[in-house]
Structure 1
């Protein structure tokens, strides 16, 4: 497994990490046994970076990771979590030191650690959060107090990322990046590299579209965000299928599948490789609902450089089918 330095954290992490939203909630039911199986398979495959949040299953994802770490003390990886989404609204009004302390204390208890490796502001809806001196002063205080080791931001838009990158103690930016969401390549990745900020790429498979297994008739469980958030009913629509209309996404994914097959890799592996091999990406965090998915995802961290013709074909597909729909929005 390829490893890279995670920006200002100074930590070495696997280029393929594990997103753990699936083992918390909003993707259909995942049992404790399956959740622990995912974590086992990820660790056995060389993954050393888990990404979670305090609202995934109202803390269930953090708790499952904490239980797993207590059973696997030899795993020396990094766990990143997030905060602010427990507020009534993730706005500047609620981005206070008092709230930050309460939320990080809860996450420390859930994970069973004294100091959180990395805490990210979890996609605040108020752009003022990203430019507030008081917010970063509060985060610096948590570092000084030993509650957190480093902090970063998880963003929806390129502008939010660029604003946060200007802050000297920012360690990481988490942003949606995949073959169907390419705008961060233009400015965010270069700016992060120049500032020494790590990039955590989320939704790398566009909620499964890029795996190439869906048809227009595919359905999802009622408690799966791919059913209930297609128009942004619960949170930013960009988190579901990367904001791409499902039917258009299915058709575009069929084309992506043909492009991927020319590399000799399966479509999901090629899709993850496309993200991981972008200059400036520190780690990519696909989710997994079972051990087999975690193992398959990890393969992208061991692959050789993809051919230039692959990147060119993906760029052409994006320009033709996807860019008009999503590029201007985030």
Structure 2
């Protein structure tokens, strides 16, 4: 069976529904060797993935550079690469989102990726106030007019930010956390994004690995892994780590999911296929630290649709166990 493909909003792209999230090959997920990182990207592309999502701060450019090298090695038709800008600001405040700073970030990503124009640059979870500053989006329009970027979008923490971003005509995509443990985007955001022809990138699809079903109370994480140091949001928004769900609550919910999900397919693949049941989602971007994970993720794009009984059981587990901890926070 072929990988499911989707239209990417108004950008005119047809993308494989499972993409590749390149945070883990950059940093803050424990040690990933250069060899494993490259092999993971190669494996994803071999499986038909054609959308890679990275950021300038993933390993301080390491992730972008690895992608450049792999695509150069492969040659042929170039795959789509989305990157992000803004988190290099220190302090990370709305006032820093100026034309000059954004231009500098774009120039650096152009060098890291070895291209003359970025396919898609996304504001990288900026402070909420940025979404109320039209001049920031005007600066992105300028960069597009200058030929430095082909399209721009945003990556958001909150549904509110995603809804606000939809009001800017130049925004072609919104990247938002959506998974079995973060279902709120379905209510208002997805219908509006679809109505406006804006692409949706579903990020943190496996809730930092919880939805692989492979974690336990005994699981340990390296000191440089955000799952060790950011559980309460000490370094960045806590919603990025385990989707903001308290670890023990999440583990109990995973056991409840295990009882209702198909048992003949890895839980991670079912969790990704669950996301793709939402028509508004253009692409889901699981990360991979090695080729096996990349291949397994891509296989989710070839699974048959889940039946309504499974979908309703997942909704019920979310409503009863998870929503009280996360629903109104993001």
For the superposition of Structure 1 and Structure 2, which TM-score range results when normalised by the shorter chain?
over 0.9
Aligned length: 328
Partner of 1:112: 114
1-side partners of 2:51 and 2:142: how far apart? Answer: 25
CA–CA distance in structure 2, aligned partners of residues 81 and 31 of structure 1: 21
Query: Deviations for 1:5-32, whole angstroms, at most 9, x for unmatched residues?
Result: 1113221111000000000000011111
User: Contact 2:71 / 2:78 at 8 angstroms: preserved in 1?
Assistant: no
User: How far apart are 1:72 and its partner, in Å?
Assistant: 1.1
- What SS is found at the alignment partner of 1:67? helix
Structure 1: gaps (5+ residues): none
Secondary structure in structure 2 of the residue aligned to 1:261: coil
1:89-112 CA-partner distances (Å, limit 9, x unpaired): 332211111011100000000000
Q: Counterpart in 2 of 1:94?
A: 96
Distance 1:217 1:35 in 2: 26
Question: Residue 133 of structure 2 corresponds to which residue in structure 1?
Answer: 132
Cα drift, residue 75 of structure 1 = 4.4
State the alpha-carbon separation in 2 of the partners of residues 241 and 156 from structure 1. 14
Deviation of 1:175 (Å): 0.2
Q: Distance in 1 between matches of 2:68 and 2:111?
A: 9
Q: Is the 8 A contact 1:260 1:266 kept in 2?
A: no
- Counterpart contact for 1:174–1:202, Cα < 8 Å: yes
Q: Supply the distance in 1 between the matched residues of 2:235 and 2:130 (Cα, whole angstroms).
A: 21
Find the counterpart in structure 2 of residue 310 from structure 1.
Answer: 310
C-alpha contact 1:252 1:317 (8 A) present in aligned 2: yes
Note the residue ranges of structure 2 that are not aligned, 5 or more in a row. Answer: none
How many angstroms does 1:128 deviate by?
A: 1.8
Find the counterpart in structure 1 of residue 39 from structure 2: 37
Query: In the TM superposition, what is the alpha-carbon distance from 1:257 to its structure 2 partner?
Result: 1.9
Task: Look up the match of 1:144.
Answer: 145
Q: TM-score normalised to the size of structure 2?
A: 0.98
CA distance in structure 1 between the aligned counterparts of 2:31 and 2:12, rounded to whole angstroms: 35
Partner residue, 1:53: 55
Quote the Cα distance in structure 1 between the aligned partners of 2:10 and 2:106. 20
**Partner residue in 2 for 1:239:** 240
Deviations along 1:253-306, whole A, 9 cap, x unmatched?
1111222235x4221111000101112000000000110000000011111111
Structure 2 counterpart of 1:6? 8
CA displacement, residues 213-259 of structure 1 (integer Å, 9 cap, x when unaligned): 11111111110000000000100000000000011111111111222
